[in-house]
């Protein structure tokens, strides 16, 4: 059960080089050039989701162990429901992105869930007794597209299709000792772009990469966050629209690029690799496509930086294939190789995925959370080992259901955001 505290009310100097996989071409400038208005939210996934009538009776809120293929109302295998927080409790009518924050390795754990109305903060330290702490309202207007990341105990929040929203900065230390749910205000707002579709942060270097914005021709808009309360524009890299990106300090087997900052980006019609170590001289390293490409949406590197796993949002719809996860060998950053598409036993559209150790956690819209185990990828060893269906209404090829997953809380608790069914707090054995 969700616990709302009493008194609540309805929420009204770089130490190493870095490697990035990003768009081809580039533009470095002292200020971010504004891109032409594309006429719709930049790089948006789809038209807004349509309301879905929940089953009758309403879905349960847990806790429910996964037994005989179900955890209460939800189909499952190897994943149990600790709790569920409905959207109306958090002050929203649609859910979207999700991130997490741990206040120290052994401290409280929090879910930061995007809503059409803003960002909800939920204490999930006790996963069976979550506490809704409040909501940071949208800076401008409601939006179906919100993205949240964390750096140095600050949340950074962007929105798409919400006017001049900018990037909200929120000091997460304000959640400590919170005794009643409340409506929060941002500590600062970065105004060098108005809208952005996604945001990536390299926590090792302190740089943020906003993508799909109304600047930098929807490419990489690079922001220095090393003073979190005072973000500063650093550079643009603009040649092709970027939908999502992961930037890391590269520690793979390609010795030529060792310890440089690299971004691997999902650029709608191709994957690209870019060296962003020198923000004044960003270098394109390579790009790659693959058969039956629909929409290059989002992906994540394996911990050894040898492989890149990608979700294509439209291949299931465009080509009638089962849910696919595309696997690339990026051990040579100048010449990545497409290996194979892994097909699940579902038809749902895939959305966002993250890798923790040898496990892939994938939020696949109507089929919910899917957990895959990575073996020797050069031998096509990848298999589903667990799942939890956050959207039991159907398993169709629709853009409704699980939006994102965050598997990095130190306790092992896994949190999932669902567009219609809210925040799920889950556990694996």
**Residue 416, pLDDT score:** 98
> What mean pLDDT is reported for the chain?
89
Q: How far is CA 211 from CA 200, 249, 259, 286, 357, in A?
A: 8, 19, 24, 19, 27
- Residue-wise pLDDT for 259-273, tens only, equals 999 999 999 999 999
Residue 396 makes CB contacts below 8 A (sequence gap 6+) with 347, 348, 366
pLDDT at 242 over 90: yes
CA 335 to centroid of chain Cα atoms: 26
Estimate the share of the chain in helix, then strand, then coil, as percent rounded to the nearest 5: 5, 40, 55
Q: Can you tell me the mean pLDDT for 124-146?
A: 97
Predicted confidence band of residue 52 (pLDDT cuts 50, 70, 90)? low
Q: Quick one: which of 29, 46, 72, 420 has its CA closest to 238?
A: 29
Per the listing, tokens 């209460």 go with 72
> CA-to-CA distance for 312 and 134, rounded, in angstroms?
34
> CA-to-CA distance for 79 and 413, rounded, in angstroms?
11
Q: Quick one: which of 310, 372, 319 has its CA closest to 345?
A: 372
Rounding to the nearest 10 degrees, give the CA dihedral for residues 226, 227, 232, 238.
20
Which residues of 204-270 form beta strands (DSSP E)? 207-211, 220-224, 232-237, 244-249, 261-266
pLDDT at 130 over 50: yes
Predicted confidence band of residue 55 (pLDDT cuts 50, 70, 90)? low
Maximum C-alpha span of the chain: 59
Q: Which two tokens stand for residue 130?
A: 């979550």
pTM value? Answer: 0.89
- Residue-wise pLDDT for 272-306, tens only, equals 999 999 999 999 999 999 999 999 999 999 999 99
Per the listing, tokens 């349960």 go with 60
Higher pLDDT, 76 or 107: 76
pLDDT at 17 over 50: no
pLDDT at 200 over 60: yes
Domain 19-43+63-427 has CATH 2.130.10.10: yes
Q: Which two tokens stand for residue 262?
A: 């690299």
> CA-to-CA distance for 410 and 80, rounded, in angstroms?
18
Buried b (16+ CB within 10 A) or exposed e, 288-327: bebeebbbbbbbbbbeebbbbbbbbbbbbbeeeeebbbbb
CA 55 to centroid of chain Cα atoms: 28
> What single string gives the DSSP state of each residue in 25-77?
S----SSPPBPPP-SSSTT--SSPPPP-PPPSSPPP---B--BTTEETTEEEE
Q: Can you tell me the mean pLDDT for 383-390?
A: 98
Per-domain boundaries in the chain: 19-43+63-427
Judge whether 316 and 271 are in contact, CB under 8 Å. Answer: no
């Amino acid at each position: 059960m969700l616990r709302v505290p009493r008194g609540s009310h309805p929420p009204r100097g770089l130490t190493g080089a870095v490697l990035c996989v990003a768009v081809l071409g580039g533009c470095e400038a002292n200020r971010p050039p504004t891109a032409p208005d594309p006429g719709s939210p930049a790089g948006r996934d789809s038209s807004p989701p349509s309301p879905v009538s929940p089953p009758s009776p309403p879905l349960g809120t847990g806790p429910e162990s996964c037994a005989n293929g179900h955890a209460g109302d939800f189909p499952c295998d190897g994943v149990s429901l600790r709790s569920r927080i409905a959207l109306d409790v958090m002050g929203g009518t649609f859910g979207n992105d999700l991130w997490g924050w741990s206040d120290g390795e052994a401290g409280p754990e929090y879910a930061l869930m995007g809503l059409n109305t803003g960002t909800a903060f939920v204490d999930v330290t006790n996963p069976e007794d979550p506490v809704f702490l409040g909501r940071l309202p949208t800076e401008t207007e409601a939006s179906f597209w919100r993205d949240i990341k964390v750096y140095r105990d600050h949340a950074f929040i962007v929105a798409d299709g919400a006017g001049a929203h900018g990037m909200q900065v929120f000091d997460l230390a304000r959640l400590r000792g919170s005794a009643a749910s409340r409506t929060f205000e941002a500590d600062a707002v970065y105004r060098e772009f108005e809208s952005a579709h996604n945001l990536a942060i390299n926590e090792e270097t302190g740089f943020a990469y906003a993508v799909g914005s109304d600047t930098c021709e929807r490419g990489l808009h690079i922001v220095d966050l090393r003073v979190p309360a005072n973000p500063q524009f650093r550079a643009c890299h603009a040649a092709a629209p970027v939908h999502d990106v992961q930037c890391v300090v590269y520690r793979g087997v390609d010795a030529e690029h060792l310890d440089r900052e690299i971004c691997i980006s999902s650029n709608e019609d191709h994957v690209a690799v870019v060296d962003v170590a020198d923000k004044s001289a960003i270098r394109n390293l390579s790009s790659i496509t693959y058969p039956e490409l629909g929409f290059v949406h989002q992906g994540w590197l394996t911990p050894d930086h040898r492989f890149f796993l990608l979700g294509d949002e439209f291949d299931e719809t465009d080509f009638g294939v089962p849910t696919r996860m595309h696997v690339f060998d990026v051990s040579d950053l100048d010449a990545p190789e497409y290996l194979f598409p892994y097909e699940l036993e579902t038809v749902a559209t895939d959305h966002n995925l993250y890798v923790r150790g040898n496990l892939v956690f994938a939020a696949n819209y109507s089929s919910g959370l899917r957990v895959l185990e990575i073996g020797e990828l050069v031998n096509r060893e990848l298999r589903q080992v667990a799942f939890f269906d956050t959207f039991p209404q159907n398993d169709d090829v629709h853009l409704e259901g699980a939006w994102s997953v965050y598997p990095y809380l130190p306790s092992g608790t896994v949190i999932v955001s669902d567009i219609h069914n809210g925040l799920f707090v889950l556990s694996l054995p």
